[in-house]
Amino acid sequence: MHVRSLFAATAVVFFWVSAIGSAPQTQAAGVTTAIETIVPTNFDTTWEVLLRELDEGDFTINATIRETSTIRVLLDSKIPSPWVDCGSFSVNSKHEDLGDRNYNFLAANSARYLVAHEEVNELIDVERLTSLKALATITLTPTKSGTRVNVDAHYVMKFRTREFGRNITPRFINQSVDFSSSGRATVTEEIREGAEMKTVSMDCRPTGALERQIVSVLQAPNT
């Protein structure tokens, strides 16, 4: 059994508070992806299956608190799009000598691309890096017919942009947004298309895949 102390649970709560940046963002409630379901297995069996199945693959068990029937699971992803939907954005660069470049990206994922800067007549290398950390809290409650399972999660999306060019003053941008299973957050980002920037508003929300995947381990045949 993979068990961690209550101290670890306290530490991770501090992490979530301190990890939230000061990027301009707005938060709002959305359609919840939190899950409440009843499985036919008793409390002890349900608890053991979750510990066995979740401490591998995409997830890491962060803390188990038997006194409150709670398991906390951490997801750390460099490809956030399966877990978080931030929409998409386009980049359109035009230059008579250096050519035209048109891109379409999922806003949740990292991307690297070239845009032509008309004023300094060079290609600017733009590297946009994203990452996701999510903490899911699983709470178990015994019932007459089995065990009630509640799954709720908190998400922190990070965005970092770096630019490379010989004749420009490069930008280095760090932003983050946070939201829960029942919410979403909007962050504003300036996207370089050449000498000019365009402002893009990205609305991030959970896809529900994290919560569903946690519950799915209880529906496996070996449960």
* Domains of the chain by residue range: 6-219
pLDDT value at residue 47: 96
- Radius of gyration in angstroms for the set of CA atoms belonging to the chain, rounded to a whole number: 21
pLDDT value at residue 68: 95
CB 166 within 8 A of CB 117: no
pLDDT value at residue 29: 56
Q: Report which of 98, 95, 82, 181 is spatially closest to residue 130, judged by C-alpha positions.
A: 82
Can you name the residues that pair with 117 across neighbouring β-strands? 122
Place of tokens 């803390």: 63
State the Cα–Cα distance between residues 145 and 198, nearest whole angstrom.
56
- Distances from the Cα of 112 to the Cαs of 34, 119, 124, in angstroms? 33, 21, 11
State the Cα–Cα distance between residues 178 and 197, nearest whole angstrom.
25
Give the predicted TM-score (pTM) of the model.
0.82
State the Cα–Cα distance between residues 204 and 179, nearest whole angstrom.
8
pLDDT value at residue 16: 39
State the Cα–Cα distance between residues 223 and 220, nearest whole angstrom.
6
Alpha helix ranges (H) inside the chain = 6-19, 43-54, 209-216
State the Cα–Cα distance between residues 223 and 60, nearest whole angstrom.
20
Local confidence pLDDT in tens for the 223 residues of the chain: 443 433 333 334 333 333 333 344 555 556 899 999 999 999 999 999 999 999 878 899 999 999 999 999 999 999 999 999 999 999 988 887 887 889 999 999 999 999 988 888 899 999 999 999 999 999 999 999 999 999 999 999 999 999 998 888 888 999 999 999 999 999 999 998 888 889 999 999 999 999 999 999 998 545 4
Q: Report which of 108, 115, 144 is spatially closest to residue 129, judged by C-alpha positions.
A: 108
